[in-house]
């Protein structure tokens, strides 16, 4: 039976979210589908291992060992923290219907300049760390602003611009590091000048978890408040859902593009601070890589919602924590990538099925509204 209920929400709400709220059945399908995707990925991984002559049961044994080990659970959280921040950076762009593929370059710029400038500061620990966070955010934002300006002024697609900026950031940093900021020392471990102890993240659990997790959680909460609970967030989401209607309502689309990219870049800039303030305490060839693209996967899996992002990052962090145990068990660590890919693919398929159903329901409601309007006339 077709649902012909007239959408009686206020006009501004219909502009912001033309799709009616999902039914409980649709929410259940999304959750059940996500769980099914996880289970399917494990089955496929086991089959792949069995076909290749590996011990498939060892995979599940290592998973269980990690789930029951406090050290491995701490490692899971530790690995998840940069992915939470990277995913939030990506999600802000998605909410504006922008695809910021440049998180990788933005956080490398943030880490590098935070490392260089941070060594020149002489401040109490809390202020020193806060200022380094601000520096990383500023340089990440500045790097993202290039893509934003190109899009607003010349109509350059942000995907192309940010991909090119990733490569440019990598080569620019390598040049600056090699020519100007390489710290001369007797050690073979070539880095920038090490940060003083006042710039180190304090340990929350000795040797297992540091204060960077607090930064990640703060970013997730701020994302929820800014995007879902503020006037700016309303304008951001309205522009992303229906730019034409938003423009008619007085929202400057170009201004929102600039704001979204700057905010996304600022958050991306602090993605690599765990490496700088808790691991190496300097910038060097062992720089963090891959968080930008992991952030895209986590943001998609978490459906751009802060709670979903945190859960998805923890799932990916748990899978990454299997690398060491799998190597010991002589199981290829690439099986983790297989599991991630199948989970992501399964969730995308489920979301698409639900979206088609919601779109059909929206069309039925629109037809019902037109019929009511015609009858009234």
Supply the DSSP string of 203-236, one letter for each residue.
EEETTTEETHHHHHHHHHHHHHHHHHHSHHHHHH
Token pair for 218: 């703060």
Token pair for 32: 């059940």
CA distance 346 to 233: 29
pTM, to two decimals: 0.86
53: left (phi over 0), alpha (psi -120 to 50) or beta: left
Q: Tell me, what's the pLDDT at 190?
A: 81
Alpha helices in the chain (DSSP H): 11-16, 24-51, 56-67, 70-95, 103-118, 125-154, 158-176, 212-229, 231-241, 243-248, 253-269, 273-274, 291-301, 306-320, 323-328, 334-376
CA distance 315 to 340: 9
**Regions in the chain scoring below 50 on pLDDT:** 1-6, 9, 15-16, 18-20
- Backbone φ, ψ for residue 310 (5° rounding): -60, -45
Report the sign of the C-alpha dihedral through residues 331, 59, 275, 263, in that order: positive
For 339-374, the pLDDT digits (tens) are 998 888 888 787 777 777 766 776 777 676 666 666
Query: Residues 6 or more apart from 127 whose CB is under 8 A from it?
Result: none
Q: Tell me, what's the pLDDT at 303?
A: 85
Q: Tell me, what's the pLDDT at 2?
A: 47
Output the CA–CA distances (angstroms, integers) from residue 94 to 88, 218, 304, in the order listed: 10, 20, 8
CA distance 368 to 345: 35
> Which residue from 107, 101, 137 is spatially nearest to 297, judged by alpha carbons?
101
Length of the chain: 377
For 76-94, the pLDDT digits (tens) are 999 999 999 999 999 999 9
Token pair for 94: 């998605």
Token pair for 262: 């700057």
Q: What is the full DSSP assignment across 124-165?
A: -HHHHHHHHHHHHHHHHHHHHHHHHHHHHHH---HHHHHHHH
> Which residue from 308, 250, 259, 251 is spatially nearest to 92, judged by alpha carbons?
259
- Backbone φ, ψ for residue 330 (5° rounding): 60, 40
Query: Residues 6 or more apart from 318 whose CB is under 8 A from it?
Result: 66, 67, 76, 80
233 burial (CB, 10 Å; 0-12 / 13-18 / 19+) is: middle
């Amino acid at each position: 039976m077709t649902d012909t209920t007239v959408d009686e929400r206020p006009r501004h709400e219909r502009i912001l979210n033309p799709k009616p709220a999902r039914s409980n059945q649709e929410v259940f399908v999304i959750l059940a589908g996500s769980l099914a995707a996880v289970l399917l990925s494990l089955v496929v991984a086991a089959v792949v291992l069995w076909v290749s002559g590996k011990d498939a049961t060892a995979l599940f044994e290592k998973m269980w060992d990690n789930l029951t080990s406090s050290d491995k659970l701490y490692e899971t959280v530790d690995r998840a923290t940069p992915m939470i921040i990277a995913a939030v950076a990506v999600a802000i762009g998605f909410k504006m219907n922008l695809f910021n593929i440049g998180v990788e370059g933005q956080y490398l710029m943030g880490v590098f300049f935070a490392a260089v400038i941070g060594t020149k500061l002489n401040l109490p620990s809390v202020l020193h760390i806060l200022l380094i966070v601000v520096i990383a955010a500023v340089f990440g934002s500045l790097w993202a602003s290039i893509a934003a300006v190109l899009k607003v002024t010349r109509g350059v697609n942000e995907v192309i611009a940010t991909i090119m900026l990733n490569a440019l950031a990598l080569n620019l940093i390598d040049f600056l590091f090699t020519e100007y900021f390489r710290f001369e020392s007797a050690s073979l471990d070539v880095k920038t000048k090490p940060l003083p102890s006042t710039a180190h993240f304090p340990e929350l659990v000795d040797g297992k978890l540091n204060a960077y997790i607090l930064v990640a959680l703060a970013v997730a909460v701020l994302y929820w408040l800014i995007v879902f609970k503020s006037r700016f967030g309303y304008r951001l989401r309205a522009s992303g859902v229906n730019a034409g209607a938003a423009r008619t309502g007085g929202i400057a689309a170009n201004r929102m593009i600039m704001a979204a990219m700057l905010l996304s870049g600022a958050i991306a800039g602090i993605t690599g601070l765990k490496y700088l303030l808790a691991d190496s305490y300097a910038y060097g060839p062992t720089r963090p890589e891959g968080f930008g693209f992991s952030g895209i996967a986590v943001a998609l899996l978490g459906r751009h919602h802060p709670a979903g992002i945190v859960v998805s990052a923890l799932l990916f962090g748990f899978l990454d924590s299997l690398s060491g145990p799998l190597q010991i068990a002589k199981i290829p660590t690439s099986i983790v990538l297989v599991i991630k890919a199948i989970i992501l693919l399964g969730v995308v398929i489920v979301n698409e099925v639900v979206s088609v159903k919601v779109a059909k329901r929206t069309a039925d409601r629109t037809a019902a509204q037109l019929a009511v309007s015609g009858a009234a006339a």
